[in-house]
Amino acid sequence: MKRKSTKGRKQLIKMSIEARKQQSIIEAQTGERPSINQILLDMHKAASGCNTFRLFDQWCALGYRIKPKSKAFRIWGTPRKGRRPQKADNATQTNPGADSYDFYPVCCLYNEDQVVKLDAVTH
């Protein structure tokens, strides 16, 4: 059984490929190049009809909770530098950049239809 995060990342990669195609079309038509994340957000805005997307912690800070069984919408996070474990061979001497890499985390966003105000929740 695959982990949810792996499945979500693969889905995001697939959507990003489509967004990259749209990015090229938009750039050819307007001369502007929107980010992949902006195109992904626009795709979800069109599909859901929602305009406000926030992280889980941001919704909680505003006094909301996520509705049960809500599915997060994923976009790419800010790239982070990673370091590979040190190996006994001389791979890092022949390729000095081989010991570090960029890691793109996944950010999970929720829209206004997926949250409920905490004071509106009845127990």
Report domain extents, the chain.
4-120
The whole model's pTM is what?
Answer: 0.75
Residues 6+ apart with CB under 8 A from 3: none
Joined together, the tokens standing for residue 22 give: 């749209």
Summarised one tens digit per residue, pLDDT across range 83-115 is: 777 665 555 456 666 677 778 899 999 999 999
Give the Cα separation of 90 and 17 in Å (integer). Answer: 35
Q: Are strands 115-117 and 53-55 parallel, antiparallel or unpaired?
A: unpaired
Average pLDDT of the residues of the chain: 87
